[in-house]
């Protein structure tokens, strides 16, 4: 569909002895919306800074349009950045902030420098102010803007230069939920309309899924998985990805044959194959993929240990043979009731064992937390001792 | 709440009244009265008399301006360079800059006298290396020139330029510089368009802190200017303590000087206002 624009090849970044990025391999397609997603400190900003030219990888190559650009300084790259804390110039007003890049003379074909005419600058700044909905704010000082407005100035200041690539480092981090959602749509719209490659950094998985063409899940300086939002959600590669993207129950299983996985000594139909016979695996079951049925009809039977009302649905914790699952359901099953569950083959996802096995996907602590909260509640049932 | 605040402010208010407002009022009264007037009759005599000292006014402001400029030209690069070195280096450099200030001001200036004199250290050196012989003179006159006075001012007041500029540059948000580079600015442009305007508040307070003491100095001009470079400070001193005893004229000169300085600072601060606000954020 489109060509490769940026490539990180075996990029390693080390600060002193501290390896922050470990042999990152990443291809970014022209005009795509790619998101780097991962927990704090996993190396997202560092990756972005390598692309932007603010950091040179300790080893490995950065390619832009097939050309190695490791040593090209930031001001010579056709890449612009929206910084994590905006970094707007406090001594300039909104207009001059946006015009900053346009006022810099550019090298022309003959090796000379050309300045954009003032009318051209004015036209482009005005147009950009319209794109980010900030008409009438030209003369405002940066200090007189709200967080959301500052953020839009930062986007305009970068976009007005018509870069090939826009790097955005958690641009919505400081905004409230409502504004965040609006800006997500806005950014997506701008990216489509201007046909610019976006490399977007976030640690919010919902945001990543909603906005991206490609999601890159990172942890501890390594890329865990690259794929479309659907792939990442439906086919997580390991327990870390499964847990980081949405809620998951992750259970030890044994692959008895292609399409047959055994959990809690019961065999389930699934769609995965290609494993060794009797290979130990991690099985992911999303809380919304579980159907609750009367106990006698269930593939597994368990006891409800807690119920939380979440608006759209109830989050219930069910104890199966000592292992606690999170299940989302619209029908209320009271605490203490016995239920059965059924899982369709496409609701089961089998993963190879990894270094993350056993670390995620167990809701025992979740339900304990919940019980603590409810017993602290003076109206709750568990508070009899104090009366 | 409000009354509590004013309670705490009381000592300050009393202090300001006693030590600032009343002395200024006394000065104003002196400036507008004549020595021989029996009943404090107002007069502008002191101000009209001042005309004959125009050359002293001019010299004072000129030398102070030159000294301030030299301090700025030395101080800015020094501060900039200090701010870009490691913290260990910064501590040492800061100590070295502060060190002379902990020595007595007069002592420092006397030392310069013995360095710059016709038979001073420098001229002895020039003689030893044959420079005076080359030029066909006995000594190179340095003491008693306006250059010596400026040197004295620069030497004494340079730290007041370096400190405020340094403290502004060290606090500059590094991401602003990265943002400028990201938008295509090379090092030179980053400096001109971001670092320089954002360090302007430091420059302004440095300029104020050098210019004001320079324009009113009397010790430096007398010791290093050798009586030929008389400045406003000397003039005022003479009116109060010297042979030309006339406190009314002295008060008038002080007042005019104060007004000129205040106006200069107000104009300058007006230009720097925007930046100052911006940096406060
Ligand atoms: N200049 C530096 N010197 C030393 N260590 C650094 C430097 N920059 C980053 N690191 C380290 O590299 C790791 C990754 O940092 P990075 O800023 O890329 O994380 P991140 O994924 O952007 O996190 P966050 O979501 O908190 O912004 C962190 O452990 C950090 O401490
Ligand atoms: Mg970051």
Q: Which CATH superfamily groups domain A4-234?
A: P-loop containing nucleotide triphosphate hydrolases (3.40.50.300)
Q: Is the CB of A49 under 6 A from ligand 1?
A: no
Can you tell me the ipTM of this complex?
0.77
* Number of separate domains in chain B: 1
B14 domain residue, yes or no? no
* Sheet containing A300-309: order of strands: A290-293, A338-343, A300-309, A314-320, A323-329
Instruction: Tell me which chain B residue has its CA closest to the CA of residue A106.
Output: B184
Express each pLDDT in A106-157 by its tens digit: 877 677 778 888 898 999 999 889 888 888 888 889 988 888 889 889 989 9
Between chains, do B185 and A104 touch, taking CB under 8 Å as contact?
A: yes
Predicted local distance difference test score (pLDDT) of residue B1: 47
Q: Is the CB of A42 under 6 A from ligand 1?
A: yes
Question: Which pTM does this prediction carry?
Answer: 0.79
Closest CA to A321 of A302, A296, A293, A297: A302
B17 domain residue, yes or no? no
Residues of chain B predicted below pLDDT 70: 1-5, 36-40, 272-281
Predicted local distance difference test score (pLDDT) of residue A203: 85
- CATH code of the domain covering residue B125: 1.10.3720.10
B47 domain residue, yes or no? no
B5 domain residue, yes or no? no
Which of B178, B193, B281 shows the shortest C-beta gap to A87?
Answer: B178
Q: B84 by DSSP, 3-state: which?
A: coil
B260 domain residue, yes or no? yes
Q: Is the CB of A43 under 6 A from ligand 1?
A: yes
User: Does the A247-371 domain belong in CATH 1.10.3720.10?
Assistant: no
A233 near A253, Cβ under 8 Å?
Answer: no
Alpha carbon distance A53, A69 (integer Å)? 8
Q: Measured between CB atoms, does A365 come within 8 Å of chain B?
A: no
Q: Measured between CB atoms, does A157 come within 8 Å of chain B?
A: yes
Instruction: Tell me which chain B residue has its CA closest to the CA of residue A107.
Output: B184
Between chains, do A74 and B182 touch, taking CB under 8 Å as contact?
A: yes
Q: Measured between CB atoms, does B281 come within 8 Å of chain A?
A: yes
Instruction: Show me where the domains of chain A are located.
Output: 4-234, 247-371
CA A116 – ligand 1 centroid, Å? 37
Strand partners, A249: A285
Contacts of A74 in chain B (CB under 8 A): 178, 181-182
Predicted local distance difference test score (pLDDT) of residue A1: 53
Predicted local distance difference test score (pLDDT) of residue B37: 60
A214 near A26, Cβ under 8 Å?
Answer: no
CA B144 – ligand 1 centroid, Å? 60
B220 domain residue, yes or no? yes
Residues near A35 by beta carbon (within 8 Å), at least 6 away in sequence: A199, A200, A201, A202, A207, A208, A211, A212, A214, A215, A216
Ligand lying nearest the CA atom of residue A38: 1
Alpha carbon distance B240, B217 (integer Å)? 15
Which of A74, A80, A89 shows the shortest C-beta gap to B194?
Answer: A89
A38 near A226, Cβ under 8 Å?
Answer: no
Between chains, do A80 and B182 touch, taking CB under 8 Å as contact?
A: yes
How many residue pairs bridge chain A and chain B with CB atoms within 8 Å of each other?
Answer: 71
Between chains, do B281 and A90 touch, taking CB under 8 Å as contact?
A: yes
Contacts of B178 in chain A (CB under 8 A): 54, 74, 81, 83, 87
Alpha carbon distance B220, B149 (integer Å)? 6
Between chains, do B184 and A91 touch, taking CB under 8 Å as contact?
A: no
B22 domain residue, yes or no? no
Q: Which domain holds residue B80?
A: 54-280
A215 near A229, Cβ under 8 Å?
Answer: yes
B165 domain residue, yes or no? yes
Buried (b) or exposed (e) across A261-294, using 16+ Cβ within 10 A? bbbeeeebebebeebeeeeebbbbbbbebbbbee
Between chains, do A75 and B197 touch, taking CB under 8 Å as contact?
A: no
Predicted local distance difference test score (pLDDT) of residue B4: 60
Between chains, do A81 and B175 touch, taking CB under 8 Å as contact?
A: no
DSSP for B139-201, written as a single string:
----TTSHHHHHHHHHHHHHHHHHHHHHHHHHHS-HHHHHHHHHTT--HHHHIIIIIHHHHHH
Question: CB-side exposure of B245: number of CA atoms within 13 Å?
Answer: 4
Express each pLDDT in A257-308 by its tens digit: 888 888 888 888 888 878 888 888 888 888 888 888 888 888 888 888 888 8
Place of tokens 């030929």: B228
Q: Is the CB of A45 under 6 A from ligand 1?
A: yes
Residues of chain A predicted below pLDDT 50: 367-387
Alpha carbon distance B205, B164 (integer Å)? 7
Mutate to test the interface with A, among B183, B186, B275, B281 (most CBs of A within 10 A): B183
Q: B236 by DSSP, 3-state: which?
A: helix
């Amino acid at each position: 569909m489109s060509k490769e624009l940026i490539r990180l090849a075996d990029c390693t970044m080390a600060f002193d002895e501290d390896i922050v990025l470990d042999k990152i391999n990443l291809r970014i397609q022209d005009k795509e919306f790619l998101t780097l997603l991962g927990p704090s400190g996993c190396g997202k900003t560092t990756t972005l800074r390598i692309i932007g030219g603010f950091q040179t990888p300790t080893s490995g190559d950065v390619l832009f349009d097939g050309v190695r650009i490791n040593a090209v300084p930031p001001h010579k790259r056709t890449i612009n950045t929206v910084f994590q804390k905006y970094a707007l110039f406090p001594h300039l007003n909104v207009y001059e902030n946006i015009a900053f890049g346009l006022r810099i003379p550019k090298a022309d074909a003959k090796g000379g420098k050309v300045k954009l005419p003032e009318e051209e600058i004015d036209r482009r700044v005005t147009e950009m102010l319209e794109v980010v909905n900030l008409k009438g704010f030209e003369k405002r000082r940066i200090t007189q803007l709200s967080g959301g407005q500052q953020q839009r100035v930062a986007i305009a200041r970068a976009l007005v230069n018509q870069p090939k690539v826009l790097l955005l480092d958690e641009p919505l981090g400081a905004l409230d939920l409502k504004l965040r959602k609006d800006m997500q749509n806005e950014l997506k719209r701008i990216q489509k309309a201007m046909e610019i490659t976006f490399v977007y950094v976030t640690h919010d998985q919902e945001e990543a899924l909603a906005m991206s063409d490609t999601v890159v899940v990172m942890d501890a300086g390594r890329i865990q998985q690259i794929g479309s939002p659907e792939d990442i959600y439906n086919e997580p590669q390991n327990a870390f990805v499964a847990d980081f993207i949405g809620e998951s129950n992750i259970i030890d299983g044994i692959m008895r044959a292609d399409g047959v996985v055994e959990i809690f000594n019961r065999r389930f139909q699934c769609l995965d194959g290609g494993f060794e016979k009797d290979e130990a695996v991690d099985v992911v079951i999303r809380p919304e993929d579980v159907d609750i049925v009367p106990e006698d009809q269930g593939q597994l039977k368990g006891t409800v240990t807690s119920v939380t009302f979440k608006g759209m649905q109830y989050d219930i914790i069910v104890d199966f043979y000592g292992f606690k699952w999170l299940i989302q359901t619209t029908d209320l099953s009271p605490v203490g009731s016995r239920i059965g569950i059924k899982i369709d083959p496409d609701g089961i996802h089998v993963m190879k064992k990894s270094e993350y096995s056993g670390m995620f996907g167990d809701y025992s602590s979740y339900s304990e937390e919940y019980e603590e909260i409810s017993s602290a509640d003076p109206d709750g049932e568990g508070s009899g001792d104090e009366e | 709440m409000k009354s509590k605040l004013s309670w705490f402010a009381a000592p300050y208010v009393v202090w300001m009244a006693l030590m600032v407002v009343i002395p200024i009022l006394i000065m104003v009264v002196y400036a507008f009265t004549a020595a021989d007037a029996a009943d404090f009759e107002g007069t502008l005599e002191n101000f009209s008399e001042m005309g004959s000292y125009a050359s002293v006014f001019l010299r004072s402001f000129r030398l102070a301006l030159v000294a301030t400029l030299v301090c700025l030209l030395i101080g800015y690069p020094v501060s900039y360079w200090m701010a870009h070195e490691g913290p260990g280096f910064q501590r040492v450099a800061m100590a070295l800059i502060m060190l002379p200030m902990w020595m007595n001001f007069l002592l420092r200036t006397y030392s310069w006298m013995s360095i710059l004199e016709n038979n001073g250290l420098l001229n002895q050196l020039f003689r030893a290396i044959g420079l005076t012989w080359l030029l066909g003179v006995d000594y190179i006159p340095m003491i008693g020139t306006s250059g010596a006075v400026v040197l004295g001012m620069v030497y004494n007041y340079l730290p007041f330029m370096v400190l405020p500029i340094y403290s502004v540059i060290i606090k500059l948000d590094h991401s602003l510089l990265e943002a400028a580079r990201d938008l295509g600015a090379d090092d030179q442009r980053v400096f001109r368009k971001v670092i320089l305007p954002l360090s302007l508040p430091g420059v302004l307070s440095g300029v104020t802190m050098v210019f004001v003491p320079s324009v009113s100095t009397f010790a430096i001009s007398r010791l290093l200017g050798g009586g030929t470079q008389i400045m406003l400070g000397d003039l005022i001193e003479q009116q109060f303590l010297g042979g030309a005893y006339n406190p009314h004229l002295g008060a008038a000169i002080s007042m005019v000087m104060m007004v000129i300085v205040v106006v200069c600072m107000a104009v300058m601060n007006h230009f720097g206002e925007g930046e100052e606000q911006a940096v406060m954020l």
